[in-house]
Amino acid sequence: MKLKAIQNTFQTTLSGIYSKEEIDTIFFMLNEAYYGITRLQLALNTNLELENTDAILKALQALKAEKPIQYILGETEFFGLNFKVNQHVLIPRPETEELVAWVLKWYSKLNSASQSLKILDVGTGSGCIAITLAKKIPKASVFALDVSGNALTVAKQNAVLNNVDVTCVEASILKPDTANKLPDFDVIISNPPYVRMQEKELMKPNVLNNEPHLALFVENNNPLLFYNAICKFASNKLKENGALFFEINEYLGEEMKQLLHNYNFKNIELKQDIFKKERMIKGVY
């Protein structure tokens, strides 16, 4: 079957779910992953054919059911690094890359005496934050905490994949007895669950029906549950002048500023992402 014909089938089947450009991008990603055929090769030879179309047509059915392409391929890219992903972990997103970039910018301004850092990533999931920081700050000692053993399995695989050492800890930040056994840190960073149940209807089905709800949602009446627990933990475990970084719900920026103030953090800074949404906050202890 000619690849051009399969490409047209993708457009027809997925046109109500994705834009034309998105469909083509997904189609080319699958071709390269499954058959080693690049976009350029297909452009140069429009008569290319596949002898076995099972893999790409199976992927098409999964896409029709709105399964994310990252889960279909079992991998994605974050900060220029490759990461394995599955249904046990969130798919890393661009705004989280911005959070990591903010930490790296903060680190670059430290004096040489502070080069060896201890970093904790709370709710690590795929490990994208912890592993990227370990890769970009080779002298850092990085810990990755998650309540999900399945998520930590993925994080450990990704640490090996990216050739970094990360200490994985299975524990809940809501149960501090375990977490309090950890050492003191220079940096604590987290992208915890922050989507309120009332905001479910705003989410796309490919996220809502596939990604782990454990890592996404909090109750409407306690949206800062995890932030409060992490702030409390950080107030005991951050070294002097240590920094706390969060990815946050864009609608709760002022509440987050007040929360950090309540825990006596200073130099509190609320930061917008590239879409001008208040999605990050930093405080120094």
- Residue 115 binned pLDDT confidence (cut-offs 50, 70, 90): low
Angle separating helix axes 225-237 and 253-262, nearest 10 degrees = 30
127: left (phi over 0), alpha (psi -120 to 50) or beta: left
Place of tokens 């999605």: 279
Domain ranges (residues) in the chain? 3-65, 86-284
Alpha-carbon gap, residue 207 to 82, rounded angstroms: 21
Question: What stretch of H or E contains 131?
Answer: helix 128-136
Structure confidence by residue, pLDDT tens digits, 184-216? 999 999 999 988 888 887 888 888 888 888 888
Alpha-carbon gap, residue 141 to 230, rounded angstroms: 19
Mark the binding-site residues, compressed into ranges.
Answer: 123-127, 146, 191-194
Mark the binding-site residues for S-adenosyl-L-methionine, compressed into ranges.
Answer: 123-127, 146, 191
Dmax over CA atoms of the chain, in Å, equals 66
Question: What stretch of H or E contains 134?
Answer: helix 128-136
Residue 27: both structure tokens together? 């189609």
Mark the binding-site residues for substrate, compressed into ranges.
Answer: 191-194
pLDDT at 30: 96
Is the predicted pLDDT of residue 111 greater than 80, yes or no?
Answer: no
Q: Helix (H, G, I), strand (E, B), or coil: what is residue 136? A: helix
Alpha-carbon gap, residue 272 to 274, rounded angstroms: 7
Structure confidence by residue, pLDDT tens digits, 94-103? 999 999 999 9
Q: Is the pTM of this model over 0.85?
A: yes
* CATH 3.40.50.720, applies to 86-284: no
pLDDT at 196: 87
Is the predicted pLDDT of residue 36 greater than 90, yes or no?
Answer: yes
pLDDT at 114: 54
Is the predicted pLDDT of residue 261 greater than 80, yes or no?
Answer: yes
- Residue 4 binned pLDDT confidence (cut-offs 50, 70, 90): very high
Query: With contact defined as beta carbons under 8 Å apart, do 228 and 259 qualify?
Result: yes
